[in-house]
Amino acid sequence: MRVIDKILTEGIQSVSEQEYSDLIEKVKRVLEGKNLIEKDWNEFIVVGDTHGDIEAAKVPVEMAEKKGLPIVFLGDYVDRGRKQLENLAYVLDLKERRPDRTVLLRGNHESERMNRGYGFQRVVHTRYSPELFTRILSLYEELPITAVIDTFFLSHGGIPEGIEEIGEIAHLEKRDERYKEIMWNDPSEDVDWFEKNRLRGGYKLYGKKAVNRFLEYNSLSAIIRAHQCFPEGFKYFFDKKLLSIFSVPNYRGNPKGRYALVKDGKTNILDV
């Protein structure tokens, strides 16, 4: 029986550490191991933060499987939610089963520092050993941080300062601040280019001029990102040149969780 089937029928307590570890190693073998993924899909599903909410993840996955569509997760699979190990296993199982039709991007919570501060390390150590947490950290290192699909740029946070040509992202080292900015930066209608974001520990806000320049330089139409929750579960910025989407409902007082269906260059917002 697959790990996720055991979780869904018998609960996480039925899954041994060895079984969970084996799932991680299987997925590492099919992960791309590079910063930038490129696909030519003209219809696909995009999922924002899921933060340990496996039920929120199930809805878009079931839609993708029903319609035979590829799916992109924008990161933040753990921390804060009630079923963090379960949710991570769910998306990993999907990647193993549909490796060429599933993209798992890295979010800012796919890091040791965030997992220590926001609960996932404690969850892993409570049920399993520290060795499993170490394996999960090694998995994070294999996740891509960006995808270009059709004419869309996808990442967890958005665009970094100091990169114009998208191919430069492929060569970023993980210690490079621009690598981190891709997972941490936020859009702002009050900024033209880039400014320091004091709410994010010194990462950046980016504005309309920065987005338009990036899109035009790379012949792209729009950005889809996650990283922030909104009352309606999504928000458009910069004359719809950027869509921010968040997929966990009832999160910090924000009732809606949403995901997006992208088809023929247009984004359609759907309820979780």
pLDDT tens digits along 118-129 = 999 999 999 999
Q: Which pLDDT does position 199 carry in this prediction?
A: 83
Helix (H, G, I), strand (E, B) or coil at 250: coil
pLDDT tens digits along 141-170 = 999 999 999 999 999 999 999 999 999 999
Q: How far apart are CA 45 and CA 91, in angstroms?
A: 14
pTM: 0.97
Q: Which pLDDT does position 263 carry in this prediction?
A: 98
| Phi–psi pair at 213, nearest 5 degrees | -65, -45
Q: Which pLDDT does position 51 carry in this prediction?
A: 98
CA distances from 103 to 41, 100, 162, 204 (A): 12, 8, 26, 25
pLDDT tens digits along 93-126 = 999 999 999 999 999 999 999 999 999 999 999 9
Q: Which pLDDT does position 254 carry in this prediction?
A: 86
CA distances from 81 to 49, 54, 78, 118 (A): 11, 9, 7, 10
Active site residue 125: no
Q: Which pLDDT does position 113 carry in this prediction?
A: 97
**Mean pLDDT of all residues in 229-238:** 97
Whether the predicted pLDDT of 49 surpasses 80: yes
**Mean pLDDT of all residues in 18-40:** 96
| Beta strands at 186-187 and 204-206: parallel, antiparallel or unpaired | parallel
Whether the predicted pLDDT of 84 surpasses 80: yes
Q: Which pLDDT does position 134 carry in this prediction?
A: 98
Whether the predicted pLDDT of 202 surpasses 80: no
Query: Pick the catalytic residue: 109, 156, 171, 227?
Result: 109
Domain definitions of the chain by residue range: 3-271
CATH topology of domain 3-271: Purple Acid Phosphatase; chain A, domain 2 (3.60.21)
